[in-house]
Structure 1
Amino acid sequence: MTGAPDTRPATREAEPLSVELTGAGPRLSRARPRRPDTPDAVLVEPALVGICRSDLKEIAGMRPGPSQFGHELVGVVARSSTSRLPVGARVCLDPNVPALRGTGFARWMWAGGDGDLLARALPLAPAGVGDRRLVFAEPLACAAHCLTMIRRHLGGSDLRGATMCVLGAGTAGVLIARLAEAAGVRVLITNRDADRLTFLAERRVLPRTGGAPLGETSSDAHDIVVIATSYVRPEVLEHALRLAHRHGLVMLYGGTAAGDRLPGLGCDLDRVRRGELVQTTEWRGKPVRIGGSYGTTPGDFQHALRTLSDSPDGLGVERLITAEVSLPELPAVLRTLVEERRFGKVLARP
């Protein structure tokens, strides 16, 4: 592939080619992406990219760890050095596979590594499923992994008939709730502000059990409580501990930072979440288990793709979409989403 002619379409000099994350925030760039110096490489033309809350955390400087800027995508292979990913193949992106890559917020994105690594990092999209549904593959895989870890923390038990409360009515919370309901769990979504629940009801994506403001939920009422807010803040964790049954499981899905603890709860929250551990402890005399979920596996990604393909309406994910923007519009939209409270999923079409 090295030295091969550039077969990409010509681009006018004035056109932006990508949105780069700089110290001053997101900026348009006209620099062409460069092929990684790796045994194999694949050039992807992103068709549709979802804006994730981790993108917004990066812009705000509040996300530790390696960058995953612009990772919710579906695109088409434009050039490839591996037969595992032929030109013309439609792919998604699993950002937890350590391929060298650029951002999906671009007209072109290189991904580099060996052929096997790239085949895992760029899973093939199922035929007959639209881009607007497939762009949810990565967040749905994270939700699937959360359920996988719940089962593991509960000793591999069947979740059918269990009661679950999901704290946080953003995209992550909705996807966890919808997947859990499909697995036979009785799910309630709760949120601090009722207007987000109203939005979900109007979009017809609440579980059958519905939603309730956080202050109106019953104590000691759930086998499983999932914290799917952006961060596991002390006040949210206290609500989760209140809602869980004795010996119930509280799942840490939202963001944590090194050293995070809740006074009175003997648990290193960040260690449990990132290590995907489960710890038995007590909260105000009530025995509880604290478990963690972090990232995805290739199996979770395949489960997400099958669900989007086989479910009659893809769990209703497309009803969460509230806007589509072009690449030149994206920097201003990203800044607005950091600064303002918005509902639903915003997509970019590079």
Structure 2
Amino acid sequence: MTGRVGPGVAAPGALGRVVELGAEGPALVAGIAVPGGGALVEVELMGVCRSDLKEVAGTRGGPGQFGHELVGRVVESDVPGLHAGMRVCLDPNRPVTRGSGFADRLRVRGDAEEVRLALPAVPEGVPARRLVFAEPAACAAHCLGAVRRHLGTEVAGRSVHVLGAGIAGVLIAALAERAGARVALRNRSADRLGFLRERGVLLSAVDGADGAGDLERPDAVVVAASFVVDELLVEALDLVRPGGLVLLYGGTRAGQRLAGLDVDLDAVRRGELRVEAVWRGSPVVVGGSYGTAPEDFATAIGAVADERLGVERLVTREARLAELPDVLRELVSGRQLGKVVVTR
């Protein structure tokens, strides 16, 4: 039996899950029946992603992935390679059937191999506040792989600038720095960079944002804001060296173009294409990054598990699952620095 409950109120003995749809917005649905088959994961910790807020606001394009940043433990499984007791995260890009990850328990069903790939194992003994960053870090690792492919070279020794100092931009910059690139992290408003300084995160990349110590024009500029807006794309195109790479990571809309640049931006991003173009008389490469691959999770899990990366310092707020509907409404209408995590 199921039923909706009021904000901040859980049904006795069953939390259920938060759904993003409905005339009244997000709601906690309690007592959801969980069908058998596949793998059942008891959720330990959840993270709120910017794309979750886009789904709540109705501004996200593409497939829904509501509630996809999580750490949990398998409690039932008929999938080879997934056994009860395994600690896992979630790859939301696999073709499986699942509900929202904002739940006390999550069932993942489908082809056995796809279910296995959808639930990558994470190590024991590592704090959940690090491992909850595995999925966004996998996206960052995929982005960095796209930078390598489109440049045709490793990033070690190269200059990489990242526009957008949200969680995605921070993780892309962190992995690029980890790979040996000279990194500068830029943001249109100063408060995000100030937040990172206060938390002691990526100080060399943040302090390099004004170009100090990196007077050359960068080899690659990653547009990592929530949306690839014209103003930010123009900044990237003007910043990159002639023949360098502008990598589209942030959201785009179908058919999106920029005056003066003969590129279908959405097609490039979603297709992970590499297009040679001209901007204000100079050659430029425009490339895309979209989604993840299984190998990206191995890279990401190793990175976030390393205490030297310090991703847990990005957590600024913790909420309970029963409180999440109200928290989501608040976040949609406001501006959050750092990561919100959710416990049961």
User: TM tier, shorter chain?
Assistant: over 0.9
Q: Partner residue of 1:224?
A: 220
Q: Partner residue of 2:332?
A: 338
SS of 1:23's equivalent in the other structure is coil
Task: Give the 5 Å matches for 1:1-350.
Answer: 13=12, 15-24=14-23, 25-35=25-35, 40-155=37-152, 157-211=153-207, 221-309=217-305, 311-313=306-308, 315-350=309-344
Shift in Å, 1:330: 0.5
Q: Partner residue of 1:5?
A: none
Render the CA deviation track for 1:96-125: whole Å, top value 9, x for unaligned.
Answer: 111100111111111001321111000111
Shift in Å, 1:167: 0.3
Shift in Å, 1:217: 12
4+ long deviations beyond 2 Å: 11-16, 209-220
Q: Partner residue of 1:7?
A: none
Which amino acid is the alignment partner of residue 103 of structure 2?
A: A
| CA distance in structure 1 between the aligned counterparts of 2:287 and 2:63, rounded to whole angstroms | 23
| CA distance in structure 2 between the aligned counterparts of 1:33 and 1:127, rounded to whole angstroms | 29
| CA distance in structure 2 between the aligned counterparts of 1:125 and 1:330, rounded to whole angstroms | 25
Instruction: Give identity over the alignment, percent.
Output: 53
Shift in Å, 1:82: 2.2
Shift in Å, 1:218: 9.1
Distance 1:30 1:276, change over 3 A: same
Which amino acid is the alignment partner of residue 89 of structure 1?
A: M
SS of 1:106's equivalent in the other structure is coil
Distance 1:303 1:213, change over 3 A: closer
| CA distance in structure 2 between the aligned counterparts of 1:249 and 1:95, rounded to whole angstroms | 28
Q: Can you give the 5+ residue segments of structure 1 that lack an aligned partner in the other structure?
A: 1-10
Which amino acid is the alignment partner of residue 270 of structure 2?
A: R
| CA distance in structure 1 between the aligned counterparts of 2:216 and 2:52, rounded to whole angstroms | 35
Distance 1:163 1:215, change over 3 A: closer
Shift in Å, 1:81: 1.5
| CA distance in structure 2 between the aligned counterparts of 1:87 and 1:218, rounded to whole angstroms | 50
Q: Give the alignment's TM-score, normalised by structure 2.
A: 0.92
| CA distance in structure 1 between the aligned counterparts of 2:199 and 2:180, rounded to whole angstroms | 22
**Bigger CA drift: 189-198 or 81-90?**
81-90
Which amino acid is the alignment partner of residue 248 of structure 1?
A: G
Q: Give the alignment's TM-score, normalised by structure 1.
A: 0.91
Render the CA deviation track for 1:200-251: whole Å, top value 9, x for unaligned.
Answer: 0111112414247789999971111000000000011000011100111000
Task: Indicate if the aligned counterparts of 1:43 and 1:109 stay in contact, CA closer than 8 A.
Answer: yes
* Count of aligned positions: 334
Q: Can you give the 5+ residue segments of structure 2 that lack an aligned partner in the other structure?
A: 1-9
| CA distance in structure 2 between the aligned counterparts of 1:179 and 1:212, rounded to whole angstroms | 16
| CA distance in structure 2 between the aligned counterparts of 1:147 and 1:180, rounded to whole angstroms | 7
Task: Indicate if the aligned counterparts of 1:165 and 1:189 stay in contact, CA closer than 8 A.
Answer: yes
Task: Indicate if the aligned counterparts of 1:192 and 1:215 stay in contact, CA closer than 8 A.
Answer: no
Render the CA deviation track for 1:135-165: whole Å, top value 9, x for unaligned.
Answer: 000000000000111111112x121111111
Shift in Å, 1:14: 7.0
Task: Indicate if the aligned counterparts of 1:146 and 1:293 stay in contact, CA closer than 8 A.
Answer: yes
Task: Indicate if the aligned counterparts of 1:80 and 1:86 stay in contact, CA closer than 8 A.
Answer: yes
SS of 1:96's equivalent in the other structure is coil
| CA distance in structure 2 between the aligned counterparts of 1:58 and 1:268, rounded to whole angstroms | 24
Task: Indicate if the aligned counterparts of 2:270 and 2:290 stay in contact, CA closer than 8 A.
Answer: yes
| CA distance in structure 1 between the aligned counterparts of 2:268 and 2:136, rounded to whole angstroms | 21
